[in-house]
Structure 1
Amino acid sequence: MKKVIFFEVQGGSDKGQDGHRKDTMPMVEALQQKGYPAEVVFFDVTQMDAIYDYVKHNAVAYVSRINPGNMVGEAQYFGMLRALCEDGIIGLPHPDAMTGYGAKDALVKLTDTSLVPSDTYAYYTMSEFFYQFPKALALNERVLKQNRGSTGEGIWRVQLMEPLPVGATEASLTTKVKCTEAKDNHVEYWKLGEFMLFCEQYIIGDGGMLVDMPFLPRIKEGEIRLLLLRDTPINVVHKKPAAAADAFSATLFSGAQYRYDPPILWEGLITDFLAQLPHVKDKLGGFDLPLLWTADFILRDAPDGSDDYVLGEMNCSCVGFTSELSLAPRVADEIIACITEKQQIKA
């Protein structure tokens, strides 16, 4: 029987004393206990050809457990995964699904759904940014999100310091703005044009871009993160920002409080999201849903006064469950189910 290969890299802050992510070996061991051979292979860009050849001939599927922030040779790694999928190895997930679901501009592709506000934009060049952002800011407070980074770095809430003149349809570049970064909720004051030039660092370079969304005040009530195993929510994390007046970040680093809920407590949100998953899947490339992924939501008021949920971000590059390692056997069962389904299709 061919193996399930778990890809990791050496080093990084997400590793335990054994050199592995804390949730990797529990999955490997759970598969082995169920009769499926499994092992970890450490990706090294200098050994990529040998790794590719080994996995191609010995694996039935791979599970990617690499945080992109810890990796040297990300483009080469994704290229190798793509080649393995073309060779018939089952990708959990496919590399294009990782980029499709994980990139911030996935939100812009979903503005025709009820999940994402229609005034959500992506800026890939400074000219696009300077054309649209002052217009958007004239209508409401905004949140800018860089494509790279983590723990709230490069995510800014932007507010006008004073109302614009009556009839103004865009903010001038000399308009004073208050900018709060989600990393630690610290506040900076800028002229709009100078702040936008500061944001050039997020747009330039490979994969650079900014996503621009309306700020949702009910973030103070908390962000709701669904942890999904393909199309099944298995956990809900309610992340409430710190109580400080300017705090809007839902990261632990910024002082947010986390609460873990069973999915049944968020039945309305889950039912609505699952109903739209086929459309989401189609809009993001038609790939199989990631094995383990998250979707983050923020409450807003619907026109009829009821609660509505806005999708703020998705992640599937290396979603962890280190605080609930008891989930490992369930993840192993889902890996086996994925393999069985693919083999039945081939047959």
Structure 2
Amino acid sequence: MKKSIVVFEVEGGNDKGDDGHRRDTMPIVNAIRDKGWNAEVVYFHPDRAEEIFQDVSENYDAYISRVNPGNIPGGEKGYFELLTKLSHEADLVGMSTPEEMMAYGAKDALVKLNDTNLVPDDTAAYYDVESFHETFPKTLSYDERVLKQNRGSTGSGIWRVQLKDRELAQSVEPGTELPLDTMLKCTEAVDNHTEVRELGDFMDFCDQYIIGDNGMLVDMRFCPRIVEGEVRILLVGPHPVFVVHKKPAEGGDNFSATLFSGAKYTYDKPEAWQDLIDMFADARPVIAEKLGGDNIPLIWTADFMLADAEDGTDTYVLGEINCSCVGFTSELDMGIQQLVAEEAIKRVEEKHA
């Protein structure tokens, strides 16, 4: 055992500070070093993939991926190939592996869970343009929907879609195929901006989210209680660390719970949301079964929205799971980087025990 962990980043992107790193990268590196281990940052670039493989496989026990897939030069394919090769051929401990990112982090994880009580059963995914154009004009007749692209982060490509004519929305027969000139009101989560567009034009615009590697759109029922806030469980390995209550900015059709859009965040200990923590713990085996294994990511989140149960009590709807590159800059003063370092070192030590 070399007692050495590499942290992967890529150059550029709007998630970098003045030093060229993500703001939570060096705190992780320093926390690992404080425990007597070596930790270094390596920037991935597809032109250097073989050189990086040789260096990392010879000098490190494990990798931690701190790469937003949307910022990878040339797309995620080459990066995922490197990570897979390091895990399978060089036998490094991967945190998180491409398999974990695809199983837990892809938006269609929601579709794989739509026969559980975690998500509405009418949640669907479109993997090709034809099925999207054929089906979405019908699902929209059931009332407001949310479309989520697979590659997005911080609310980019996540759209709340509603009929502009609310009288039409209330009178249209569910299952009716809406004409392509139906006017829509579309609000993007990244900044809560609203656009009025024709249905056909909006679908043409959304084709970009489907085309390309791992392209897809998830079509999900809009949960009106999102205005009360999104509730995020932040986990390090199997351990819930914080519950973040993210309340969207008030006004209009605002529904985004990102800091970029003006949402307000409140940080609580897990026991303050014990019913949600217990529900998620009970659901973990089901999630593992449906998503293809219980290889728990190093840093991950599960986002929930409040909803009404049939008996009138509160329940929770799973909005998404994130594990590709969860940011936690706001939590650094709470010491989360120390927990990340401890969990990462523990995984390496367990492998070599």
TM-score (ref. length: structure 1): 0.93
Where 1:31 maps in the other structure, the secondary structure is helix
Counterpart mapping for 1:305-324 below 5 A: 305-324=312-331
- Further displaced range: 167-176 or 109-118: 167-176
Q: Secondary structure at the match of 1:107?
A: helix
Equivalent of 2:153, from 150, 153, 156? Answer: 150
Deviations 1:292-321, CA, capped at 9 Å, x for gaps:
011111011011111111111111111122
What pairs with 1:273-312 in structure 2 (closer than 5 Å)?
Answer: 273-286=280-293, 288-312=295-319
Match of 2:352 in 1: 343
Q: 1:63 is matched by which residue type in structure 2?
A: I
Residue number in structure 1 paired with 2:249? 242
Aligned partner of residue 246 in structure 1, secondary structure: coil
SS in structure 1 opposite 2:267? strand
Shift of 1:164: 6.5
Q: 1:320-344 CA deviation, whole Å, 9 max, x = no partner?
A: 2222222222211111221223234
Q: 1:99 aligns with which of 84, 97, 102?
A: 102
Deviation at 1:128, TM superposition (A): 1.1
Amino acid at match of 2:336: L
Deviation at 1:211, TM superposition (A): 0.5
Q: Partner of 2:220 in structure 1?
A: 213
Question: Unmatched 5+ residue regions in structure 2?
Answer: none
Root mean square deviation, CA, Å: 1.8
Cα displacement (A) at 1:56: 1.2
2:85 to 83, 86, 97: 83
Q: Distance in 1 between matches of 2:170 and 2:329?
A: 48
> Would the aligned equivalents of 2:70 and 2:151 in 1 still touch at CA under 8 Å?
no
What is the CA distance between 1:148 and its match in structure 2?
A: 2.2
Preserved contact between residue 229 and residue 305 of structure 2 (Cα < 8 Å): yes
Q: CA–CA distance in 1 between the matches of 2:29 and 2:71?
A: 21
Q: Aligned in 2, Cα 1:180/1:21: closer, same or farther, shift over 3 Å? A: closer
- For 1:225 and 1:256, the matched residues in 2 are separated by 13
Shift of 1:287: 5.0
1:170 to 158, 176, 186: 176
Aligned residue-pair number = 344
Check conservation: 1:94, 1:287, Cα contact below 8 A. no
Structure 1 unaligned regions, length at least 5: none
Tell me the SS of whatever aligns to 1:14.
Answer: coil
The question of whether the paired residues in 1 share the 8 Å contact of 2:128 and 2:216 is answered with yes
Partner of 1:9: 10
| Letter aligned with residue 253 of structure 1 | F
Partner Cα distance (2:39, 2:237) in 1: 20
Q: 1:202 aligns with which of 170, 188, 209?
A: 209
Shift of 1:283: 1.9
Question: Aligned equivalents of 2:213 and 2:11: distance in 1?
Answer: 24
The worse-fitting range, judged by mean Cα deviation, of 230-239 and 7-16 is 7-16
- CA-CA distance at 1:250 after TM superposition: 1.1
Range moving further from structure 2, 195-204 or 312-321: 195-204
Could you list the structure 1 runs, at least 4 aligned residues long, displaced by more than 4 angstroms after superposition.
164-168
Q: 1:167 and 1:16 mapped to 2: Cα distance? A: 51
Aligned to 2:128: 125
Q: Following superposition of structure 1 onto structure 2, how do residues 21-60 of structure 1 map, counting pairs within 5 Å? A: 21-60=22-61
Contact map agreement 2:142 2:174 (CA 8 A) in 1: no
Q: From 116, 119, 126, give the equivalent of 1:116.
A: 119
**2:335 matches 1:332:** no
Residues 75-107 of structure 1 deviation map (CA, whole Å, 9 limit, x = unaligned):
111101101111211101111111222211111
Report if the CA contact (8 A) 1:6-1:62 is conserved: yes
In 2, the alpha carbon distance for the partners of 1:9 and 1:183 equals: 22
Q: Deviations over 1:210-258 (max 9, x none)?
A: 1000000000100011111111110111111111121111122222111
3-state SS of 2:302 partner: strand
Flag the 1:198–1:40 CA change in 2: closer, same or farther, 3 A: closer
- Aligned-pair identity in percent equals 57
- The 3 A distance-change label for structure 1 pair 34 and 186 is closer
Relative to the length of structure 2, the TM-score reads: 0.92
Tell me, in whole angstroms, the C-alpha distance in 1 between the residues paired with 2:142 and 2:6. Answer: 50
Find out whether 1:68 has 2:75 as its counterpart: no
3-state DSSP class of the match of 2:26? helix
Q: Show the counterpart of 2:259.
A: 252
Shift of 1:268: 0.6
Q: Answer yes or no: is the 8 Å Cα contact 2:69–2:151 preserved in 1.
A: no
Distance in structure 2 (CA, Å) of the matches to 1:23 and 1:235: 16
Alignment match of 1:141 (pick from 118, 141, 144): 144
